[in-house]
């Protein structure tokens, strides 16, 4: 018993002292991890705001449709912005499969140049992508850029715009413009929509989709 007394007594005295200094009931401090953290060391709130990401990792599953053909509906899966440490570098990947010999997919590295806590951010994009349709088949190096508009720091809503070239340095290349929108319906579940414009070999196609997004 004396052993536990010598361990617990200083903690009780410290909590009593903090409670008197803050004019709070000791139980309030004991039940509040935030207060305990602030009493141990005042955090750098500005640094947290600047570096805590204003957008979240999203796992996506949904429906995909090319607008210029009746038999080109299918599914799409993907994951957006897996953060690699506490840096602006993220990994993303996606795949779409539709009827009519249409498919596409790839993996991207994005490096967000502004503090992650910003409501607006921009990122160059480097990756590999494949685009397949009845008129062309392109795969290879992908280079481009992306703009992220985080309408809520909790991941409740955001808009992303992107443009890239696919097959850079090869004989065949194409352009890909995309718009992604997401809105939370539950704390960890969002309803999303996306639109893509593919241009290659003098041909252009539009693809749109409706997806469910899970925030891990």
Q: Pick from 58, 140, 53, 60: which is nearest to 89 by CA? A: 53
Question: Cα 108–110–112 angle (5° rounding)?
Answer: 170
Q: What is the pLDDT of residue 188?
A: 94
What is the end-to-end Cα distance of the chain in Å, rounded? 45
pLDDT of residue 98: 79
- Regions in the chain scoring below 50 on pLDDT: 1-16, 18
**pLDDT, position 3:** 41
Determine the pLDDT at residue 70. Answer: 60
- pLDDT tens sequence across 1-46: 444 344 444 444 444 454 555 556 666 666 667 666 666 665 655 6
What number of other Cβ atoms are within 10 A of residue 86's Cβ?
10
- Give the pLDDT score at 28: 62
The predicted structure's pLDDT at residue 21 = 57
Closest listed residue to residue 97, CA positions, set 130, 64, 128, 119: 64
- Predicted model pTM: 0.77
Torsion, Cα 117 119 121 127, to 10 degrees, reads: 80
Residue 17's pLDDT is 54
Distances, alpha carbon 35 to alpha carbons 10, 31, 32, 43, 84, in Å: 18, 9, 5, 11, 30
């Amino acid at each position: 018993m004396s052993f536990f007394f010598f361990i617990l007594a200083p903690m009780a005295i410290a909590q009593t002292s903090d409670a008197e200094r803050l004019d709070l009931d000791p139980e309030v401090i004991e039940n509040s991890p935030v207060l305990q953290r602030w009493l141990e060391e005042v955090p750098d709130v500005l640094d947290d705001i600047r570096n805590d990401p204003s957008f979240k990792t999203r796992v996506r599953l949904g429906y995909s449709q090319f607008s210029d053909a009746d038999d080109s509906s299918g599914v799409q899966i993907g994951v957006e912005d897996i953060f690699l440490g506490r840096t602006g570098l993220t990994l993303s990947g996606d795949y779409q499969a539709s009827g009519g010999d249409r498919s596409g997919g790839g993996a991207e590295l994005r490096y967000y140049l502004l503090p992650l806590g910003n409501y607006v951010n921009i990122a160059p994009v480097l990756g590999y992508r494949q685009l397949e349709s009845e008129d062309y088949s392109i795969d290879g190096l992908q280079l481009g850029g992306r703009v992220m508009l985080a309408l809520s720091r909790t991941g409740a809503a955001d808009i992303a715009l992107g443009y890239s070239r696919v097959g850079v340095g090869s004989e065949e290349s194409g352009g890909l413009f995309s718009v992604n929108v997401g809105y939370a319906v539950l704390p960890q579940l969002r309803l999303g929509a996306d639109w893509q414009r593919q241009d290659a070999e003098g041909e252009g196609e539009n693809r749109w989709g409706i997806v469910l997004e899970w925030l891990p």
